Amino acid sequence: MAPESITKTVFMIYRTPKFCQTVGEMYSFDRPSNSKQPNPMRPKVVLQRNIWSFTVEAIMEYCRISFDLFSSSKPISLLSIDAEEKILSLWYENDQCLEAVWKAFSTEAVSTSFLDLNSSGLPGLFSSTNVLQLPCRGQAPGSGIGNIGRVIVFGSGLLRKFSGWLPGLVEQLAQPPQEAGYLPIDSSEWFFLDIDYPTSTGSAVEEIDLISGGPHTALYLKVPMNNSRAIFRAVMRLAERNLNLASTLVQEIPMKEEANVSSSSSMYGVELLHEARAHEFLKSLDLADRLYVRPQTGETGFQEPPSGLSKTLGINWVTPRATDNLLVRYSIGAFRVTMAAVNNRASICLAQFVLGGRCVVLAHKQYCGPPVPDGSQSPGDVFLLLCHGSVMYLHVLAAAAPLSHSPVLPVAANLPQAPEDHYRLAAFIKNFLRPACLAPASVSSNYPVAPKISGMLRFCNRRINRTSIHCFIKNNFSECPASLLLPLCPVLPYQLHHLKTRASRLS
């Protein structure tokens, strides 16, 4: 099924002289020499990164996450504005990869010209809107697919210029496409990241709404460049907002240090990034808020993860078991994941473990439900990390919900001898209820609320023809002896009476 709209993202960098200013820590390197003997008296080469390199690093991380999680379904284009407007990449398939992004920035890094912000109009406005109107893969005039654009602008000293830029921006967005085959922009979001250096004093990002209340919005963000992670953190917060991302921290992963094989295992943590929808099931169970990592126990604020997102959900590694691969039948959703730190040793080890065909169960310790005799699951198992076609997915398990458990009593085995006309009842429970994970909880499980047969019947009415289910109850439950019904579907006596009463009314 084709999407209703495609969201495109344009990164536009205003290459001003301030982007050449160095900031952050210094790196020292040994000078190259023909001599094989080290000379401690030889002065070292000291380098310091500039704002341009920090900006490129943040954009590449945004692109990497988008490509890993969404492939080319959320296309990205790059623009660089100095003395002229340069389109570094478009919506073509070969441009939607990290290698193409790196090549585009590598060629642009040697440029020595700069942008003069004292222009009457918004620099790069025509190029950015023209790129947004250009159809991408899956778009065609008359296809009915919406064209949504997002432009992220990097610059310095922008706030005082908006009074002259905004009228032209609104006018340009309202104009129809000038090229044949191009698409109008249905809606757009503009983010202006104003890098404040060296006058910045605080660390919080200041936000000002420039345009709001319509199909096109504009937001100004003042980024104080007081440390080397300021731009990276601001861009990751935009990625969290624009791509609807969430973070999951896999804790207590045992790993041995390579330097000492005989040493005991140390516990590591690996941060995973994925769509925020993966946490919705835990939110419905009121578990997500308790699992978010906080600086200290009892605090209301959230601890910022290394990825730069606003918060992360802490979950524990479970020692692999022989029955872990069976838990995929409880999956109610699967989401692609990527590592927050791809060069971290713990992330590499976890990725190699999963890509090698193994699966990892992730559980919490908020509560412990009754154990299952076969040991295949526990109420704390909420995620399953495994590989599908060399891509890692995070499966959301419904094992934490009471009616998601398969019955402990065998449903299809050890049944008492029943008349031949009761085979439909046994087949219904065996082939429908159990595979759908809707069989009632076992009598040996201690759940606070007993499952209600009426709720099960309402579920059946939504998926089976109403006449068929009425005939099923009339033909099977009205004369069904309790000796057959109770082992198949353990219910309370009043529930059995309710079933027979309803069957008699249908007759």
pLDDT score of 432: 44
The more confident residue out of 493 and 244 is 244
Class of 5-28+44-243 per CATH? Answer: alpha beta
Binned at pLDDT 50, 70 and 90, residue 248 comes out as very high
In what helix (H) or strand (E) does residue 336 lie, and over which residues does it extend? strand 331-336
Binned at pLDDT 50, 70 and 90, residue 63 comes out as very high
Residue 348, pLDDT above cutoff 70: yes
Binned at pLDDT 50, 70 and 90, residue 344 comes out as confident
What residues does 156 pair with on adjacent strands? none
Distance, in Å, from the CA atom of 105 to the CA atom of 474, rounded to the nearest integer, reads 72
pLDDT score of 127: 93
Residue 276, pLDDT above cutoff 90: yes
Binned at pLDDT 50, 70 and 90, residue 468 comes out as very low
Residue 497, pLDDT above cutoff 90: no
The more confident residue out of 97 and 377 is 97
Distance, in Å, from the CA atom of 106 to the CA atom of 88, rounded to the nearest integer, reads 11
Residue 243, pLDDT above cutoff 70: yes
Residue 66, pLDDT above cutoff 60: yes
pLDDT score of 444: 32
pLDDT score of 258: 52
Q: Contact at 8 Å (CB) between 165 and 33?
A: no
The stretch 248-275 carries a mean pLDDT of 76
The more confident residue out of 112 and 189 is 189
Domain with CATH 3.40.50.410 in the chain: 5-28+44-243
What is the DSSP code string of 168-189? HHHHHHHSPPSSTT----SEEE
Binned at pLDDT 50, 70 and 90, residue 76 comes out as very high
Q: What are phi and psi of 354, to 5 degrees?
A: -75, -45
Q: What percent of the chain has pLDDT over 90?
A: 34
Residue 488, pLDDT above cutoff 80: no
Nearest to 28 by CA among 49, 50, 48, 46: 46
In what helix (H) or strand (E) does residue 317 lie, and over which residues does it extend? strand 313-317
How does the average pLDDT of the chain come out, rounded?
76
Distance, in Å, from the CA atom of 274 to the CA atom of 240, rounded to the nearest integer, reads 10
